Structure 1
Amino acid sequence: MEQVVAPSAPSAIELPETESRLSNSFLRLRKHLMRKVGEAIVDYGMIEEGDVVMVCVSGGKDSFTLLSLLLALRERAPIDFRIVAMNLDQKQPGFPDHVLPAYFESIGVEYRIVTENTYKIVKDKIPEGKTTCSLCSRLRRGIIYRTAKEVGATKIALGHHRDDMIETLFLNMFFGGKMKAMPPKLVSDDRQNVVIRPLAYCSEKDIERFARGMEYPIIPCNLCGSQENAQRKQIKAMLRDWDSRFPGRIVSIATALKNVVPSHLADGELFDFRNVSRSTEVGEGDIVFDAPELPVGAGSTDIPIGIWRP
């Protein structure tokens, strides 16, 4: 079952009365997040002229923030693109299915509500106490891809942020034996969809502050919210501990994702170690044994973004 509604009014970030009147720090935070999203869009070529961007909105802080920032950036972008908000109602018990349609209508954005009882499927297939995330995400992904085709979307925007990407890196390292993270932009396995993550440079702490200031009607996920022992939550706790004890470490890890040196890892598919000789040209040679040089502000992605700057 699907509900499609066209926009009734121009879209923008509408600040709560108290925030717009009183909080300069909130306005600075909004500008900072918009700048980070603009940088990510430019760096990875996420949005192009004529794109139809389907923004997946779950009802959580990340997807609400993503939708708000993309709507605001569209108003000043040098290109024209369409935004369609999409929500998947998984029929979780107690899910307030009136909240998101009312919110979408209040900001005047085109939207589609898709209703599929994936909750029942997951509960039937996964034994009590076991992690539901894997099956749930596969079911959601299939429905999202199908809906993107139906609305003519050229890009699917997800609300994953910088911390999600780093958590995924450590999950794959610790439990999967892979140096693999969550990319800012990718093509689906069937090559029918391009997925973008415009919040790739945004920290979860900033998003949490922004969501509180915007007073979004947050909808909790009852399906997996009680699974406190999930591996991702363990990784999140580890990273938050690092961030509190070693300021700047998370930023440095995020920067490392953009500065890969294959000749100093161990993957023979990425670098031909077998045929290394004295004549082999490498970028950094044996300086890997030297103490690393850490520039002031290492890890910053505060670079000019030109016409995408808010």
Structure 2
Amino acid sequence: MSQTDTRKEVFEFNKLQKRLRRNVGNAITDYGMIEEGDVVMACISGGKDSFAMLDILLQLQKVAPISFEVVAVNLDQKQPGFPEHILPEYFESLNIPYYIVDKDTYSVVKQKVPEGKTTCGLCSRLRRGTLYSFAEKIGATKIALGHHMDDMVETLFLNMFHGARLKGMPPKLRSDDGRNVVIRPLTYCREDDLIRYAQHKDFPIIPCNLCGSQENLQRQNIKAMLVEWDKKTPGRVENIFKSMQNVSPSQLADKALFDFENLPLDRSEERQEYEFSEAVVSSTNIDESLFIDVTNI
């Protein structure tokens, strides 16, 4: 590689890193994800997204105007062949506090889910319960997950297509019992950027053997659809995500969110001018003298 190519590569990476740091910082600010004195439990699966999240959180921790702690936590689900040494060695190289938590969710999932069926649902519930309880045990006030914008848009369509619900994956979530708060610092980050970032940083990626072999998962189909849309119309995924931030309940159909039954007609105030001119009647068979002139009431 020539010196010019090297300089260009460094320049492009610096741009990428600044964009990701800016996106994470904006998401944290916009949704109040991290506050003074927080203990952030960064959940590291061994995938590119969680590695990138940890890396950027540690960078922001050094320059943030508030003080907060970051503790890396990996849930070892006892998948066969899982390289148990990789993450402890990586965390030690960063000189950060960490925990490896052992919980054999792999056996439970394999026992309860028939061969060929999607394991993600049960796996995520078991993982969530373990992480919630462990966060309380270590005094963590926030649980950081590595979901990015693409994940959130995919989840929206998954729920629409397969669950008949207009429901997504929020940037910040309080657990049903109120005992934990989940944050997603990569909310404004695109997956393509995270892929390139992970490649440059050479993170020790660990593949998931449990769900990675299920090629026909519904999420993969949604992902392929969005990739195609993004190719044809760049910026479409960003616009879909922005629509999740700009919701108008009165323009949807959920009776629990908007009272459609009680919409009384109110013409008591003087009408403002509409954006179009008044219509002119050219022909009618109605006796207009029967109309009530509301202007004289």
Normalised by the shorter chain, which TM-score bucket? 0.7 to 0.9
CA distance in 1, matches of 2:266, 2:37: 48
Q: Would you say the 8 A contact 1:19–1:26 is kept in 2?
A: no
CA distance in 2, matches of 1:279, 1:218: 62
Task: Name the amino acid aligned to 2:53.
Answer: L
Q: Would you say the 8 A contact 1:99–1:217 is kept in 2?
A: yes
Residue 175 of structure 1 aligns with which residue? 162
- 1 or 2 for the larger relative contact order (CA 8 Å, sep ≥6)? 1
Q: 1:255 to 1:103 in 2, by over 3 A?
A: same
Task: Name the amino acid aligned to 2:254.
Answer: D
TM-score by length of 1: 0.83
Residue 96 of structure 1 aligns with which residue? 83
Task: Name the amino acid aligned to 1:198.
Answer: P
SS in 2 for 1:156: strand
Q: 1:128 aligns with which of 83, 91, 115?
A: 115
Residue 258 of structure 1 aligns with which residue? 245
Residue 73 of structure 2 aligns with which residue? 86
Larger radius of gyration: 2
Query: Matches of residues 104-115 of structure 1 in structure 2 within 5 Å?
Result: 104-115=91-102
- Tell me the matched-pair count: 265
CA distance in 2, matches of 1:226, 1:261: 39
Query: Matches of residues 176-195 of structure 1 in structure 2 within 5 Å?
Result: 176-195=163-182
CA offsets 1:81-125 (integer angstroms, 9 cap, x no match): 000000011111110000000000101111000011111111111
Task: Name the amino acid aligned to 1:115.
Answer: D
Residue 161 of structure 1 aligns with which residue? 148
Is the aligned partner of 1:221 residue 2:208?
Answer: yes
Q: 1:82 to 1:181 in 2, by over 3 A?
A: same
Following TM superposition, by how much is the alpha carbon of 1:277 offset from its aligned partner in structure 2, in angstroms? 3.0
CA distance in 2, matches of 1:76, 1:21: 27
Is the aligned partner of 1:240 residue 2:227?
Answer: yes
Following TM superposition, by how much is the alpha carbon of 1:21 offset from its aligned partner in structure 2, in angstroms? 9.8
Gaps (5+ residues) in structure 2?
A: 268-273, 276-297
Identity of aligned residues (%): 62
CA distance in 2, matches of 1:184, 1:20: 36
Is the aligned partner of 1:273 residue 2:260?
Answer: yes
Q: 2:55 aligns with which of 64, 68, 75?
A: 68
Task: Name the amino acid aligned to 2:259.
Answer: D
Gaps (5+ residues) in structure 1?
A: 1-17, 281-285, 288-310
CA distance in 2, matches of 1:105, 1:75: 18
CA offsets 1:247-285 (integer angstroms, 9 cap, x no match): 1111110110110111111111211111113339xxxxx
Residue 15 of structure 2 aligns with which residue? 28
